[in-house]
Amino acid sequence: MEPSDCENCAIRSVALFGEIDPETVARLQDQAQEFREPAGTVLYEEGGNADAAFTLREGIIKLVRNQPGGREQIVRLLVTGDFFGAEGLFGDGHHHSAVALTPVFLCRLPNPLLEQLRTADPTFTNALLNRWRRALNEVETLALDLGARKAEERVASFLLHWQTKHGPQAEWLPLPLSRSELGDLLGLRVETVSRVMARWKREGVFEERGGHLRLLDADELHQLVDHSGA
Amino acid sequence: MEPSDCENCAIRSVALFGEIDPETVARLQDQAQEFREPAGTVLYEEGGNADAAFTLREGIIKLVRNQPGGREQIVRLLVTGDFFGAEGLFGDGHHHSAVALTPVFLCRLPNPLLEQLRTADPTFTNALLNRWRRALNEVETLALDLGARKAEERVASFLLHWQTKHGPQAEWLPLPLSRSELGDLLGLRVETVSRVMARWKREGVFEERGGHLRLLDADELHQLVDHSGA
DNA sequence: CGAGGTTTTGAGCGAATTCAATTCCGGTGG
DNA sequence: CCACCGGAATTGAATTCGCTCAAAACCTCG
């Protein structure tokens, strides 16, 4: 666990500190620690004490809510630049568990640091606010998918969102989710996800190789998602 | 549309300004306007320009996302004290439509006012942050319901949440949602919601009179929700 | 090459939807 | 006060979508 060099962070422009006064960053950056974890690591557990937040510099993380019945629901997927786990700012425990889906490279920002940033630079809270707003928007979109769309449409919706999230120029998208995890995200069972995706692969809607996939017929998917009524 | 008397607002303790410097409130309150609308009023539409946010002082509002296919998804229900519609703070349009389910009493807070508050009092942004965090938490809970629970469990979950939201001491809860709207919230069809609730009424799980309901056997519902696996 | 997990495929089942009446209820006008 | 209207709620029957259970095909990596 090393102190971070936030000033020269490769993802600073996209990350939280991108919007913050450089001087403040310089003064406080040694309180942030950077570290790596392998895929599968549980960063924190739902309900656990939230004594630090994180910035994801590399890799993909799932935020998960668990249900007694053994089912779990992925509530959000995080990619490079995303900020998460700050529930502790309000004395709350974590609302969900965070699990690395790939090897990850993280910055850990302990609560005291966040507090200092909050008082030192008003724009920091704004940046936080903006993150929270975007997160809310994403979860609402997920709720729409889960509540108002059927299996096929949900998978299509996910693929398109995932594409967007990685920039439309990216040809091959990483897909570090198993079919089972896609099910946990979309409220479907493994078999259902598999059936839909297997068919689309046969029909040439997308192709898949080594944990990455490439959309070949995005139109087909778009049609399913927005034109679903007819 | 009258200027508000925020200092003496009946719900100030629970509302946004409860956490804010009284002096600032006094100075800026005349920029806020209070007004009433009948049930059914659309406060704003999804995608519309967000030039003001609102505090709900009385009544109940649904936030809705629409789907081309004619289905709609309620993403959140607002009650007295809730704050909403502030997407404009970041130059965004509204992410959802807001519709009054009952006659409502509102405060309208134009963007310039919000901006002033943001700079005048750092705790204001904190208050906002806290609201956004709670909203996120609620929508995540909804996503869990939609993705990981079946019909009966979702209805049970809703009734309990609704009870909680109105304070456990409240005997008779207002329920200004039609069965159809409950369906829009829970990702179910009218008939499914109706079947479940009609049976529970027969079995004495709750009773219903004039748009209000009272839980008689909350344990039964709790069992369905958390013990769902077995 | 073999082992273990993941994906795919098949067949049957069940939960929720769809389609179609019927009943209930609040409000209106006679 | 009561009959009647229209929308909402309820109930029933048939259908369908997604789930469950079960087995086979596929990788991936020791």
> Given an 8 Å threshold on Cβ–Cβ distance, is B65 in contact with A122?
no
Q: CA of A135 to nearest chain B CA: how many angstroms apart?
A: 7
Q: What is the pLDDT of residues B4-54, one digit of tens each?
A: 787 878 777 767 777 777 888 788 788 899 999 999 999 999 999 999 999
Any idea what the Cα angle at residue A126 is, between residues A121 and A130, rounded to 5°? 150
Residue A11: other Cβ atoms inside 10 A: 17
- The DSSP result for B120-157, as a single string, is H-HHHHHHHHHHHHHHHHHHHHHHHHHHH--HHHHHHH
Mutate to test the interface with B, among A133, A149, A227 (most CBs of B within 10 A): A133
> Given an 8 Å threshold on Cβ–Cβ distance, is B187 in contact with A148?
yes
Average pLDDT estimate for B167-172: 84
Percent of residues, chain A, with pLDDT higher than 90: 73
Q: How far is the CA of A150 from the C1' of D16 (A)?
A: 12
Q: CA of A211 to nearest chain B CA: how many angstroms apart?
A: 25
Integer angstrom CA distances of residue A88 from A169, B39, B126, B193: 37, 38, 13, 37
Q: What is the pLDDT of residues A188-209, one digit of tens each?
A: 999 999 999 999 999 999 999 9
List the 39-58 stretch of B: residues with Cβ below 8 A of A.
none
Chain A interface includes B229 (CB < 8 A)? yes
Helix axis angle for B122-148 and A122-148, nearest 10°, is 20
With H, G, I as helix, E, B as strand and everything else as coil, classify residue A77.
strand
Average pLDDT estimate for A133-151: 97
Considering only CB atoms, which chain B residues are within 8 Å of A131? none
Place of tokens 């509530």: A75
- The DSSP result for A164-224, as a single string, is HHT-TT-SSEE----HHHHHHHHT--HHHHHHHHHHHHHTTSEEEETTEEEES-HHHHHHH
B190: the nucleotide nearest its CA (via C1') is D9
Euclidean distance between CA atoms A2 and A31, whole angstroms: 10
Q: CA of A197 to nearest chain B CA: how many angstroms apart?
A: 19
Q: What's the pLDDT score for residue A228? A: 58
Q: What is the pLDDT of residues A40-94, one digit of tens each?
A: 999 999 999 999 999 999 999 999 999 988 899 999 999 999 999 999 999 889 9
Considering only CB atoms, which chain A residues are within 8 Å of B186? 147
Q: What's the pLDDT score for residue B28? A: 79
Closest among B209, B220, B125 to A90, alpha carbons compared:
B125
Q: What's the pLDDT score for residue B7? A: 81
Average pLDDT estimate for A124-142: 93
Chain B interface includes A91 (CB < 8 A)? no
Dihedral of the alpha carbons of A192, A196, A198, A203, in degrees to the nearest 10: 170
Question: What token pair was written down for B3?
Answer: 């200027």
Euclidean distance between CA atoms B6 and B15, whole angstroms: 10
Residue B42: other Cβ atoms inside 10 A: 12
The helix or strand, by DSSP H or E, that contains position A55, with its residue range, turns out to be: strand A52-58
User: Which residue is nearest to the C1' sugar atom of C9, using CA?
Assistant: A195
User: Which residue is nearest to the C1' sugar atom of C5, using CA?
Assistant: A178
* Pick from A95, A133, A229: CB nearest B137: A95
Q: How far is the CA of A217 from the C1' of D24 (A)?
A: 30
